[in-house]
Amino acid sequence: MGAKRVLRVAAFDVLLPALFGGLATLGFAPFGYYGLTLLALIGLIALWWQASARRGAWRGFVFGLAHFGTGIYWTFVSTYYYGGAPLPMAIGLVAALSVYLALYPLLVGALAGATRGLPRTLWALVVVPFAWMLAELVRSWVMTGFPWLSLGYSLIDAPVTALAPIGGVYFLGLLMMASAGTVALLFAGSIPARALAVVLIALAPLGLWYTPPTTAWTRPSGEPVSVDIVQGNFAQAIKWDRDVFRTTLERYRSMTEASDADLVVWPEVAIPAPAHQISSYFDEIAALAAGRNQTVLAGTLVHESNNAPYYNAVLALGAGEGRYYKRHLVPFGEYFPVPEFVKTLLDGVNMRYSDFGFGAEDQALIEVDGVKLGLSICFEDAFGYEIAKALPQAGMLVNVTNDAWFAGTTAAAQHLEIARMRALEAGRPMLRAANTGISAIIDYDGRVREATPEFEIANIESQVQPRSGETPYMRIGDWPLWWASAAVTLLSLLGSVLLTRRRSKAGASR
């Protein structure tokens, strides 16, 4: 292999895919340069333009490795600094996760190469975008799902947000990839393909103009509710320290005493102890809140009996009643979906109560002043279908979380971005309480009305308007996207095989 060929292979098979993968990350929070993500996708499609299935797969893998490596590097912080994993194990776990996530762009690249013989307009505008959407949908489902960095999240502040209540985040990702394909056609397609690209680009603003606004799907319901979101700010390094426990109790008590809001929201596991061990404390908080017709949502752990598992829970204290147990647990974080003998190999990760129980699917909604709340805990807000379980009954959404596991990284901003998308898809305001931040009140259109700084003791007091109604996405969900993407992918592969056979027969008859 000559020097020029080596340089060409290095550039097109390693350097450029890695560059585009890293560039794509800049479209997500806290950066928000979604134009750079679009540019990266245009570059990726260009790399797939004439690539074989094997080369397309490799380029997709390198792209994914760079993208997810720069996007979810923060998992190292949780496993090494707070999880107690040895350095080699922590590095290995992050590397393994990045490699796993990179398999999805690899598969899309393989399909792009396998179907490159199809008409270019079909390939760029339909085949590749739908294959990418199918990959994101599968990624949101395998091993309970890890949908972080799905393309649509980067568009939370783009002019296309009115489409989210209609099709959801994966539909936005489909449109983004199709937009990249349109630009690629504009520069590399045939004359008719370029003309089509020009027409599509010209019609895009018109399509957005006629898209129903976010106000079209839901409407104000009842009177506003006064809320107080409490951010206790206990770093993960000290959160479970026995010497800090008394301070934790006093801080949440005093911040609650100082509030006259109808609803006070504490973060996930605000009190780092099983509820039955400090029942007198919760009784005090309940009596305090009940005397003021106030409801406190307290994040804690619940252990119902000796033979029962621990639950990551939110308890309603005071005027409100009920509790919520987390349904969608984080694999390898809150439970380990492996045989018992494998768990012995994970002793290096010192995580408290790491085998939680799964909450029931049909839990009753907690109600405050006649307004039902759609609760989620931490990672659950990464799944639109989890939020949909409370709708259309819920007038407001509440997410409690503890992003202190990833302190000093981009994770908190990315998680807030995800929460914004859920509020937008549902057409509901969301109250977000985070231990060390970012706590926020998010309007029904996905905009952040108020937010706290990270790593400070803070609270947000405001009036929040509940809403009723149901967006198309919350009514229908992702199933049309699953069927459409699977059908397009299978038909494109079948069409490619038939086209190859036809060409082979035509060549043999000459």
Q: Which has the closest alpha carbon to 65: 107, 31, 97, 29?
A: 97
Which of 136, 268, 386, 417 is the catalytic position?
268
The reply to whether 380 belongs to the active site is no
Name the catalytic one among 334, 367, 372, 378. 378
Q: 204: which 2 tokens?
A: 């895009």
Give dist(CA 66, CA 72) in Å, integer.
10
Among 326, 386, 389, 417, the active-site one is 326
Q: Give yes or no for a contact between 35 and 101, defined as CB atoms under 8 angstroms apart.
A: no
Separation between Cα atoms, residue 273 and residue 301, nearest integer Å: 6
Q: Which tokens belong to 167? A: 């099709």
Q: Please indicate whether residue 268 is annotated as part of the active site.
A: yes
Q: How many CB atoms lie within 10 A of CB 86?
A: 12
AA letter at 366 = I
The 3-state DSSP class for residue 73 equals: coil
**In angstroms, how far is CA 336 from the centroid of its own chain?**
21
Contact 232/457 with Cβ under 8 angstroms?
yes
Rg (CA), the chain: 25
Q: What is the DSSP string of 186-221?
A: HHHS-HHHHHHHHHHHHHHHHHHHTSPPGGGTEEE-
Q: Is the dihedral of CA 287, 291, 297, 298 positive or negative?
A: negative
Total count of residues recorded for the chain: 510
What are 231's two structure tokens? 């951010």
Q: Is 426 helix (H, G, I), strand (E, B) or coil?
A: helix
Q: Is 361 a catalytic residue?
A: no
The residues that are catalytic are 268, 326, 378
